[in-house]
C-alpha cells in the first residue's frame, strides 16, 4: 500500500551460503528506500544496513549486499 513515504518494506530474508559445520551465522535485513515518494512503476529501490548475525558471525564476511533494483 502506498503511504506517501520513501520507505520500502523488505519481505524476504537473506541466507548465508557456505557455512562451516554447525556455525551459527545469519543475515539481518537492513532497510530499503524508494528514490522518491512518488508512486509509479520502475522505481529504484536502494538497500543498506544488512549485517551478519549469530555467535560465529566474526568468522564470516558479508561479501555483497543488495544496492539498488527497479
Domain boundaries, the chain: 1-12+23-70
DSSP lists the bridge partners of residue 45 as 34, 69
Report the percentage of the chain scoring pLDDT > 70: 100
pLDDT at 11: 87
- Mean pLDDT score across all residues of the chain: 90
Residue 5: pLDDT band (50, 70, 90) is: very high
Residue 25 CA to residue 59 CA, distance in Å, equals 9
pLDDT at 27: 92
Amino acid at each position: 500500500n502506498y503511504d506517501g513515504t520513501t520507505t520500502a518494506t523488505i519481505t524476504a530474508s537473506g541466507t548465508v551460503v557456505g557455512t562451516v559445520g554447525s556455525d551459527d551465522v545469519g543475515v539481518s535485513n537492513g532497510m530499503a528506500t524508494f528514490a522518491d515518494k512518488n508512486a509509479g512503476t520502475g522505481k529504484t529501490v536502494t538497500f543498506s544496513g544488512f549485517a551478519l548475525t549469530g555467535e560465529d558471525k566474526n568468522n564470516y564476511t558479508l561479501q555483497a549486499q543488495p544496492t539498488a533494483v527497479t
